[in-house]
Amino acid sequence: MDHVTRQFINLTKKLRKELRKALSDLQGALHEQTKAISKYYERDNQPQNAQPPIHIISELHTPEDVERRRTTNDDRQYRLQRWNTVGTWLAFFAVAVYAVITYFQLRDFDASVGVSQTIARQTRIQAAASKEAADAAKSAAETAARQEMITEENLRATIEPIICKLDTITVGEHISAHCNFKNVGNSKAYAVKEGADTKRWIDLPGGPMPVKLAESGDLAANSPTDVYFFDAEFATSKFLSGLPELTVDDNPGNETLFFFARYEYFTFGQTRHTEVCWHLAKSNAAASKLPEGKTGYVLRQCKKWHSSN
């Protein structure tokens, strides 16, 4: 309930209270006046003290003082009734005037409430329009940002790995593998740097990929590039038999051979990178159906160092 409504209710209660009090006072005054008139009339009509017997001779007439008193009483009662009627009409007129004043006050109140409601409605409409405009501006900015991102993603250079395969895994020889990369973007990759290495670890060390990058020039759009890996040690039966089994767990658990490589290049004003990491594992029944699984060994993706931006 707002302030205007509370004022209206308080005004109505006050007018009702004052009207009831005025009517009650008027009714009490009229009652007292009527009561006084009745008492006066009754007292005036009471029989007088016994008079000595009057000898009626031959004619009967009303005494002059009695007739005069009766006339006076009748006139007084008429005047009182007339003033009673006038008072009643004056009370009715006062009530009517009070009702008219109340009507105009209520009409002005309704008009003020209507204006307040109109202003409030216009304020809500303006607030809704402002919010809609802000949402539209935000949506347009987000759309423009997405279009710009989509345009850049479609046009910039992107070096991605295509396939990584084992080449040699024989006792007494160096284990070797290679990965094919390609610039699948629509523009040239500038200032390309690449690095690759192999390490025998039980698990990956912490920190970034421990590889030295060397400049290799630019890579045109839709152009391939290759990375080759060679284990520094010879493969032995003990090492191969101790390789971890191929499971869903990314942690090898036993010493194995890790192959990892990283590319860094410049495109559309930003430096991008691509890195891959694989480790050697024994193949299982499912992997043995793959071409590389027929050797009994496969490359398993590492739990990190396998990302691009």
Q: Please name the residues in contact with 5: beta carbons below 8 A apart, sequence gap of 6 or more.
A: 113
- Checking if the pLDDT of 1 tops 60, the result is no
pLDDT tens across 121-133, in order?
A: 878 888 887 788 7
pLDDT tens across 160-186, in order?
A: 999 999 999 999 999 999 999 999 999
Confidence of residue 275 (pLDDT cuts 50, 70, 90): very high
SS3 198: strand
Q: How far apart are CA 103 and CA 106, in angstroms?
A: 5
pLDDT tens across 54-110, in order?
A: 555 555 555 666 667 777 777 777 777 777 777 778 877 777 787 778 777 777 776
pLDDT at 211: 95
Strand 174-183 to 159-168 pairing: antiparallel
The burial class, CB within 10 Å (0-12 / 13-18 / 19+), for 114 is: exposed
The burial class, CB within 10 Å (0-12 / 13-18 / 19+), for 26 is: middle
Confidence of residue 235 (pLDDT cuts 50, 70, 90): very high
- Checking if the pLDDT of 157 tops 90, the result is yes
Which CATH code fits 159-308?
2.60.40.10
Look up residue 41 and give its two tokens.
Answer: 């009339």
Q: How far is CA 10 from CA 5, 13, 207, 229, 281, in A?
A: 9, 5, 77, 93, 89
**Is pTM beyond 0.85 here?**
no
pLDDT at 164: 92
